[in-house]
């Protein structure tokens, strides 16, 4: 019994401490996961960005909710770029993601940090603060896309 409990405890510890990439059985699953996560981030960030640009009326509560969601989601895709997940489903990941992993990580961390600033700005309810933070997030999205996202989907 004691041994079983120790095994269970060890397994549980392993499950929480393994990198997120290890949760995917197949490359296809990792690609679906990261694409889904990026889509959700874009949807929630997009709602705030639309308010910041005047394309949508400003609603402080909706801005705060969407910024909080985008910030919560921001780091998720980066656990799904494990080695070997370049193929499996059509995707736009450039090889540099794995060749220059440190630079890719820095770009991801930058987006996560900017999204955290947007979350904080939206919590204040100030449209001016939101506008500035949206600019920071947008720049971090674009910077990473320029370097690491291909124009076309792979086959
Ligand atoms: C978005 C979105 C992106 C970024 C990018 C910023 O709202 O879906 O991919 O902003 O367009 O340059």
CB of 38 shorter than 6 A to ligand 1:
no
Residue nearest atom 12 of ligand 1, based on CA coordinates? 142
Is the torsion defined by CA of 126, 132, 138, 143 positive or negative?
negative
Phi, psi for residue 59 in degrees, rounded to 5: -135, 105
Sequence-distant (6+) residues with CB within 8 A of 58 are 51, 127
Rounded Cα–Cα distance for residues 5 and 1 (Å): 6
* Axis crossing angle, helix 27-53 with helix 60-73, rounded to the nearest 10: 150
**pLDDT tens digits, the chain, 155 residues: what are they?**
566 555 555 545 555 555 554 589 999 999 999 999 999 999 999 999 999 999 999 999 999 999 999 999 999 999 999 999 999 999 999 999 999 999 999 999 999 999 999 999 999 999 999 999 999 999 999 999 999 999 999 98
Which residue has its alpha carbon closest to ligand 1 atom 10? 138
Q: What is the pLDDT of residue 17?
A: 53
pLDDT at res. 130 = 98
Q: Which atom of ligand 1 is nearest to the CA of 41?
A: 8
Domain 2-148, CATH class in plain words: mainly alpha
Q: What is the pLDDT of residue 21?
A: 47
Is the C-beta atom of 115 inside 6 A of ligand 1? no
The DSSP secondary structure of 8-70, one letter per residue, reads HHHHHHHHHHS-GGGG-SSHHHHHHHHHHHHHHHHHHHHHHHHHHHTSS---HHHHHHHHHHH
Q: Give residue 84's region: left, alpha or beta (phi > 0; psi -120 to 50).
A: left
Q: What is the pTM of this model?
A: 0.87
Q: How high is the pLDDT of residue 5?
A: 56
Enumerate the domain spans of the chain. 2-148
């Amino acid at each position: 019994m004691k041994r079983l409990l120790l095994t269970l405890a060890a397994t549980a510890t392993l499950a929480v401490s393994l990198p997120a990439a290890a949760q995917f059985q197949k490359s296809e699953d990792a690609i679906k996961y990261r694409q889904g996560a990026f889509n959700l981030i874009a949807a929630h960030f997009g709602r705030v960005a639309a308010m910041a640009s005047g394309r949508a009326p400003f609603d402080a509560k909706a801005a705060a909710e969407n910024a909080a969601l985008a910030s919560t989601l921001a780091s998720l895709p980066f656990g799904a770029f494990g080695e070997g997940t370049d193929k499996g489903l059509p995707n736009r990941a450039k090889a540099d993601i794995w060749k220059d992993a440190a630079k890719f990580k820095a770009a991801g961390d930058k987006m996560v940090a900017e999204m955290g600033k947007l979350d904080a700005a939206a919590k204040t309810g100030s449209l001016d603060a939101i506008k500035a933070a949206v600019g920071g997030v947008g720049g971090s999205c674009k910077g990473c896309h320029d370097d690491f996202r291909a124009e076309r989907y792979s086959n």
